[in-house]
Amino acid sequence: MSGSYQSAVERMYALGHELAHTPSHKFDLEHMRGLLDALEHPEGKFPSVLIAGTNGKGSTAATLASILQAAGLCTGLYTSPHLVRINERIRINGEQMPDDQFGLLHGVVDRTAERLVEDGELPWHPSFFEMLTAIAFEYFANQKVDIAVLEVGMGGRLDATNVVEPLLSVITDISLDHQKFLGNTITEIAQEKAGILRKNGVLVTLPQTPEANDTIGRAALEMGTAVLSAVPFVPPISPASPPLWEPVPRSQSQRRRVVSRYPLSVLGKEIIVETPLAGRHQLRNVALAIASAEHLTAQFPSITADCIASGIRETRWPGRFQVVTGGEDVPEFVLDVAHNPAGAWALRSTLSSLYQSRQLVFVFGAMRDKAIREMAEILFPLAERVIATRADNPRSATPQEISEAAGRTGAEIDFASDVPSAISKARLLAAGEKVVVVTGSIYIVGEAMQVLGVSA
């Protein structure tokens, strides 16, 4: 790890990357535009797709980027947050931004920001996310990507990514999260997400709650935005439907993929969709990616039905129902970043489908500002035992706080002071055919991946 990279990362974290340390005055697109103006507008040097939502926006972005890459396009992908290293957030054709490039471009953006503050053109230094977004734009512009897929960090209307003029906007499923910043109702949150729509632009979305549908529909009507529905690409599900997914072992590997497999008509051709993103909720995210790719064929005719099938099959999005096995006498681990009630319901549904006959041990930790009681009431009834722990993060709830919040579940809860000790305890408790489920926070999953030696 180079000194330049290390110092860049330290300076970034010194800005306070957690929402709790981000003053409300940071959420102002004029400041972001001022920074990008001084950088000669890197965000205007490549076409982009902008994706907002509460759950599924990262999965949708990763799937779409994989499709575009399969079509031979040099594809940038910007996501957040990261599991292990900050570079994960900025990728080209699936490869993380190199350390030396990160250090170099951080220096460029940081010096520009400091000059703007000194000259009075910015009232304060850009935030962690503003800096990171500007670095991503610089990197994509310098590397001359054909297209970049950008995941909104939070909300949409005032998010730093919302300075681009995207070829299309995508809104995934909306639920309650980040209420302190986005509002206390689905309607208020949907209004923030709808801020990524463009006048006479294009929106790809799916029907969801009536409040979200009404809010997004009104915003699209006011903006003259064409709405493309991804419904044709969601496979029909009924109680009589055969299972769409099954565990698929990988030879010569400690990992195995959980693949959803179903036929679909895309661009006038029948393909077999095989996605490693497990769970019925992921079928909606894959559908959004397919609908987006179909629309982009007008600009990029190299996108074909076969490219769409290949891109979906090769999608890699760690920490989302990622199954890790370690051989004989080592328990199977499921890593999933369910960090709000909607994510917890999705995880519960997938666990119930795939592990009906297996006993589950949970390693659970969450940020103090999350809906811990609701998540516990959704997930803990599935567990034979729960190990409450905390990530190395000042916002983490303590194991005692988790236990108190989960009081009504009646779950048997053990405490572990940190993630490594929680994993050790889980290995002992899950001997035999039991499965360890690590969830509750992306920080918990990221630290578990480091302990387990799983790359992000």
Confidence class of residue 246 from pLDDT cuts 50, 70 and 90? low
Q: Is 184 exposed, middle or buried (0-12, 13-18, 19+ CB in 10 A)?
A: exposed
For 127, the token pair is 């935030």
**Of 121-135, 182-196, 208-222, 385-399, which range is least confident?**
182-196
Residue 109: the pLDDT is: 97
The confidence score (pLDDT) of residue 22 equals: 47
270: enclosing H helix or E strand: strand 269-275
Tokens read off for 101: 């490039």
Top pLDDT among 236 and 227 is at: 227
In 404-428, which positions are buried (b, 16+ CB within 10 angstroms) versus exposed (e)?
ebbeebebebbbbebbeebbebbbe
**Confidence label for 348 from pLDDT (cuts 50, 70 and 90):** very high
Residue with tokens 């319901």: 345
User: pLDDT-based confidence at 18, cuts 50/70/90?
Assistant: very low
pLDDT at 324: 87
Distance from C-alpha of 194 to C-alpha of 220, rounded to nearest angstrom = 8
Rounded average pLDDT over 196-212: 95
**How confident is the model over 109-118, as pLDDT tens digits?**
999 999 999 9
Tokens of 184: 């206390």
- Evaluate if residue 23 carries a pLDDT over 60: no
Query: Residue 246 forms beta bridges with which residues?
Result: 259
- For the purposes of burial, counting CB atoms within 10 Å of the CB of 79, is it exposed (0-12), middle (13-18) or buried (19 or more)? buried
pTM above 0.85, yes or no: yes
Q: Tell the residue number behind the tokens 């001359």, with chain if given.
A: 144
How far is Cα of residue 105 from the mean position of the Cα atoms in its chain?
A: 24
pLDDT in tens, 290-341: 999 999 999 999 999 999 999 999 999 999 899 887 666 678 899 999 988 9
70, exposed or middle or buried, with CB in 10 Å at 0-12, 13-18, 19+? buried
Which of these, 292, 247, 391, lies nearest to 57 by C-alpha position? 292
Q: State the number of CA atoms in the 13 A half-sphere of 359 facing the CB.
A: 12
Phi-psi group of 341: left, alpha or beta (phi > 0 → left; psi -120 to 50 → alpha; rest → beta): alpha
Angle separating helix axes 128-142 and 3-14, nearest 10 degrees: 140
Element housing 6 (H / E): helix 3-14
Neighbour count for residue 115 (Cβ, 10 Å): 12
Q: What structural domains does the chain harbor? A: 3-233 (3.40.1190.10), 322-452 (3.90.190.20)
Structure tokens at 456: 């992000």
Query: CA-CA distance, 37 to 158, in Å (whole number)?
Result: 17
| String of DSSP letters for 39-52 | TT-GGGSS-EEEEE
Which are the contacts of 118, defined by CB distance < 8 A and separation ≥ 6?
none
Residue 240 scores a pLDDT above 50: no
Tell the burial category of 434 from Cβ atoms under 10 Å away from its Cβ (0-12, 13-18, 19+).
middle
DSSP bridge partners of 386: 362, 413
CB 173 within 8 A of CB 83: no
Is the confidence at residue 258, as pLDDT, over 60? no
Rounded to whole angstroms, how far apart are CA atoms 155 and 254? 37
